[in-house]
Amino acid sequence: MGDITTTSNWSNLPAVLLWNIKDRLNMLDTHRVAFVCKDWKCASQSYPSKVVPFLMHRSPANKTLCHFFVDLLTKEGFVLDLPDLHEGTALLFSRQGWLLVLESHNVGPGHGDVPKASIALLHPETDAKIIMPPAPKEETVEQFFGCFSFADDDCTPHLVVLAKLVETKLTLYVADVVDKEWIEHSCANQIRGNITVLVIGMKVYCLDTSGRLFIFNITTLQWTEFPGNAKQLDSDRAHHWMMESEEGEIMKIEQSSDMTKLSLSKLDESQSSWKRLGISAFMGRSWFVGSSVGHDNHFVVKEAAKITKIHRLSSFCQASSSGCYMGTDINILDLIKGSVIGAELVGDGQWVDLGRFRNLPPSIMCYLPPSQS
């Protein structure tokens, strides 16, 4: 019997296997995979979307429009030139590469310099931009919170929701990215403090500083309120973070005011109450939380079973000889080891979901491998 020669055609590698390989590569190598052959390019373009939280930071000393991004999981970073994110612009929300930004500016002479707020959806990877109508009425940026949902293809924004909070009164403005017409919906209940907002499907979820959840059904125009767990963690003084899980569930982390206790809950399937979860529900996940409320995104990412960390950002104001400056504290709590690692940044820091890059963003200025980030 003669020798049997076998050859392997790497271009026929199953897309799922190629995706698993890309998951283990850094940003540059992931980009290079698409240039191997036509089949790999096709598989790379269909690479499934995923939540990838980056820490976005811009120092006050930086007079350019460049922002530094670092992935705390892979330890790699890069700098993007983002002219639409400048001083006076608030990043309200981000999801799988899309950013919802709100810019306050004056309409000019003859209008009494009334501040107007322009709204846009940005996609740094492709430089795509969706302009929305100006924010309803003349309000300050600080009064608005926001979020958006995706269309059925899970890659294009569908509904944009702005939440305006004036004292204790909450008003929602909902618009389709196609029709671009704001529809106003007011909540009769009083809100405590600020809010975190999510929209999933045709429902808007608003969590206030006391842990109370308000759900607005866009289809039926009905509001529903759920109280916080005041008896569990002194809810009025506890920290609350709401996020969407990998499976699309609404989850809430609560931390006691003395930061010694943690509680995890999820909204039950009937969306009638919070279901308390055990500590095991934290495991095998990395959690990314910002301030309790406000213009901060909160995320959860699946990890290896032995990795369970909570990455928390908090803002501070520090006095110096030249005045006061704003900064951001980063604390990483390892729930397995019980250790805490802290760092301090000068300037604002936010979690941003840039998603998986299929291509290098045209605005990229430089790439920093893990050893340099």
The string of DSSP codes covering 165-233 is: EETTEEEEEEEETTT---EEEEE-SPPPS-EEEEEETTEEEEEETTS-EEEEETTTTEEEEE---HHHH
Please report which helix (H) or strand (E) contains residue 277, including its range. strand 274-277
> Quick one: which of 93, 55, 58, 91 has its CA closest to 74?
55
3-state secondary structure 284-338: CEEEEECCCCCCCCCEEEECCCCCCEEEEEEEEEEEECCEEEEEEEEEEEECCCC
Asked if residue 162 has pLDDT above 60, the reply is yes
Give the whole-number percent of the chain exceeding pLDDT 70.
83
Mean pLDDT of 228-254: 75
Contact between 303 and 286 under an 8 Å Cβ cutoff? The reply is yes
Asked if residue 345 has pLDDT above 90, the reply is no
pLDDT digits (tens, 9 = 90+) for 295-322: 678 999 887 667 788 999 888 877 766 6
Name 131's bridge partners.
120
> Quick one: which of 199, 198, 201, 191 has its CA closest to 225?
191
> pLDDT band at 335, cuts 50/70/90?
confident
The 3-state DSSP class for residue 281 equals helix
Please report which helix (H) or strand (E) contains residue 79, including its range. strand 76-81
CA dist 370 and 77 (Å) reads: 7
> pLDDT band at 255, cuts 50/70/90?
confident
| Burial bucket for residue 221 (CB in 10 Å: 0-12, 13-18, 19+) | exposed
Distances (CA, A) of 311 to 76, 329, 373: 16, 10, 17
The two beta strands, 169-176 and 309-320, are unpaired
pLDDT at 114: 45
The 3-state DSSP class for residue 152 equals coil
CB atoms within 10 A of CB 227: 12
> Quick one: which of 24, 12, 34, 25 has its CA closest to 358?
34
CA dist 204 and 174 (Å) reads: 10
- Sign of the CA dihedral 330, 331, 334, 339? positive
User: In this structure, which CATH number among 2.40.50.140, 2.120.10.80, 3.40.50.720, 3.10.105.10 belongs to the domain 49-368?
Assistant: 2.120.10.80
pLDDT at 229: 58
The string of DSSP codes covering 2-50 is: PPP-----GGG--HHHHHHHHTTS-HHHHHHHTTS-HHHHHHHHTPPP-
| Burial bucket for residue 131 (CB in 10 Å: 0-12, 13-18, 19+) | exposed
Dig out the tokens for 330 from the structure: 């980063």
Dig out the tokens for 349 from the structure: 């820091």
CA dist 97 and 43 (Å) reads: 19
pLDDT at 141: 57
The 3-state DSSP class for residue 51 equals coil
> pLDDT band at 5, cuts 50/70/90?
low
Phi, then psi, of 40 in degrees rounded to 5: -70, -35
pLDDT at 240: 85
